[in-house]
Structure 1
Amino acid sequence: MSERRANALHGELEESRTLLEQADRGRRQAEAELGDVQQQLTEVSSNYNSVSALRRKLEEEVGSLHVDLDEMLNEARTSEEKAKKAMIDAARRTPSSRSRPRKSMELTVKDLQIRLDEAEANAIKVSSRTQRIMLNSCR
């Protein structure tokens, strides 16, 4: 009987060892998975912080672009107003200039041409600045 009991206890001991080894393997596997998950969490946190910083930077750039756009629109309106005034002045001066001598007419034409050139140059400047800003924002 004691031999039977010894065999039964030995069997239980072997079974307990097997269960202990399985539990130990499971623990090591769980620890390895925990390490992987912690590493992934660190990477995700780093990516999140990078994206957040990039988002803040882009929001600042968008705000700056809005300010630049408003400024350029105001410059464009000013240029258009100057061009309109130059055209109105030219239209007003043309009928009355018939009675003036030729020299006076030439001076008026030169003056109007200068004002028109300034208005065109300002419009070109605004246009090129707008293009440059748009290209920069696309990049």
Structure 2
Amino acid sequence: MIALLVAIARHGGRGLARLCLWPITAYFVLVRGPERRASRAWLSRVRGRRAGLWAAARHVHAFSATILDRLFLLGGRMDLFDIRVHGLEPLEALVDHGRGPCCSARTWAASTLCGCWRGGGPGCSCGWCWTAARTRC
């Protein structure tokens, strides 16, 4: 299933791939009980009220859309996204002086996106692309 979605995304584009998320969402919400129950339980806890089937469907769809977007980000398709970062001046000042927050990129995608904010990416030495090996806590 994943290989098919990757092929659709690669050859049909982001719009067509996003359309494919609705049948995937329906499958997980209507057929897969464990995922549906986990989504409804989490949403109920967070909202403080019982989450319905539609809320679970929106939750599953948002999760699958995030995974799909990561696929495009990893493929270097930053042109498909409008990413804006605000208020980084204090953080830049710390990084320029060899200080800064303790950050750990748990996935390669997160590390790549972090680097994309300053035009970097894998192997970037701009100070924004943190990996576990470069992180000092």
Q: TM (normalized to structure 1)?
A: 0.26
Q: Which protein has the bigger helix share?
A: 1
Tell me: higher relative CO, structure 1 or 2? Use CA pairs within 8 A at least 6 residues apart. Answer: 1
